[in-house]
Amino acid sequence: MSDLETLKSDFEAAIQAAADNEALEAVRLDALGKKGRISEQLKQLGQLPPEDRKQAGQALNILKDQIAEAIAARAKTLGAEAMNKKLAEEQIDISLPIAQQAQGFAHPLSRTIEEITAIFSDMGFVIAEGPDIETDYYNFTALNIPPEHPARQEHDTFYLMPDEAGQRPVLRTHTSPVQVRTMQKMKPPIRLIVPGRTYRSDHDATHSPMFHQCEGLVIGENIHMGHLKGCLIDFCRAFFGVDDLPVRFRPSFFPFTEPSAEVDIGCSRSDGGLKIGAGDDWLEILGSGMVNPRVLENCGYDPEQVQGFAFGMGIERLAMLKYGIPDLRTFYDSDMRWLRHYGFVSADMAALHTGLGGE
Ligand code: PHE
């Protein structure tokens, strides 16, 4: 028995002395491994006289359990010690300056498109898209701009090579063809906007051969000019963030709307600066009108049953006015200094979509 007592205290001392998991594992093998000392003793039980065997066996098994328990307890302690050590060593010095990280910026145009879509989404509009390369039919004819109509010249169209049928595809000169494409596919009620690229052969400080428009289309029963006005007044005020922004509807002409109205917002100009809000001057910002019954018919609708309004705005122009960017050409120069000055950080972009009526 005294043998076992010695064995026990030897192992207990070794377990306590084990400084890490590796040392502890060595003790475990020495005691309980296949060739460990306790296992060896268990194997030798058979050589004992039968009357001693039972008692010796019991004593050995108890020792075996005690050693296993002691090893488990030591492993736990070692684990806790390792964790505490790690925590103490890994203390973070929050006063250290952070490493400089490259910061990306959203282009003012992306920002403006996000703002426009956020406002119209809150009003229940959905986003539609159409191709940049259009047929003459969708870009002009279906919109009540027949061949030889002077509006075709005004649009400074880029024509592509004729196809097999001799038809020349065009780079769409406005987003209005998407009105026709969606009306032919959908049944009223329709409430959509179409932000997208448009092309005209024109290049100066306020014109670029590629630019962006956002079309709007609302079709339903009993839609009238009052809806058009209410919708666009709300939009202008929300977009420029001026609650009492004066908005004026000025009679105009577009072949695809009748009547048509140009929309102006109030502004004042002093010392060469432009201020949007009540003032003695006006700025034109978009075209609009009631969808021409001929366009409705071209889309298979009965103008006696459904009516609607449409509008179209130049996105660069809105961005220039809102953010005081003087030259349109700089939008496409890819100059990082310009982007750092006029760009937006992504967190501010995410905050735009706050959901219905959100602040
Ligand atoms: N498509 C017109 C343009 O490019 C704008 C517009 C759209 C006007 C819809 C009325 C209705 O100038």
Mean pLDDT score, 17-22: 91
- pLDDT tens-digit readout, 132-172: 999 999 999 999 998 888 777 777 899 999 989 988 999 99
- Indicate the pTM of the whole model: 0.72
d(CA 288, CA 257): 7
Report how far Cα 85 is from the mean position of its chain's Cα atoms.
42
pLDDT at 355: 56
Taking the CA of residue 155 as reference, the ligand 1 atom at the shortest distance is 4
d(CA 215, CA 102): 36
Say if residues 248 and 284 touch (Cβ distance below 8 Å). no
How long, in residues, is the chain? 359
- pLDDT tens-digit readout, 217-267: 999 999 999 999 999 999 999 999 999 999 999 999 999 999 999 999 999
> Which residue CA neighbors atom 2 of ligand 1 most closely?
312
Task: Evaluate: CB of 287 within 6 angstroms of ligand 1.
Answer: yes
Q: Is the dihedral of CA 221, 224, 226, 227 positive or negative?
A: positive
> Given the structure tokens 């003790």, which residue do they identify?
27
Task: Examine the pLDDT at 75 and tell me if it is beyond 90.
Answer: yes
Which ranges in 90-149 belong to alpha helices (H)? Answer: 108-122, 136-139
> 299 C-alpha to center of ligand 1: Å?
17
Provide φ and ψ at 33, rounded to 5°.
Answer: -60, 170
- pLDDT tens-digit readout, 321-332: 999 998 998 999
Task: Evaluate: CB of 196 within 6 angstroms of ligand 1.
Answer: no
| Percent of the chain surpassing pLDDT 90 | 69
Taking the CA of residue 198 as reference, the ligand 1 atom at the shortest distance is 4
d(CA 116, CA 175): 15
d(CA 301, CA 268): 43
Taking the CA of residue 175 as reference, the ligand 1 atom at the shortest distance is 1
> 175 C-alpha to center of ligand 1: Å?
8
Task: Evaluate: CB of 289 within 6 angstroms of ligand 1.
Answer: yes
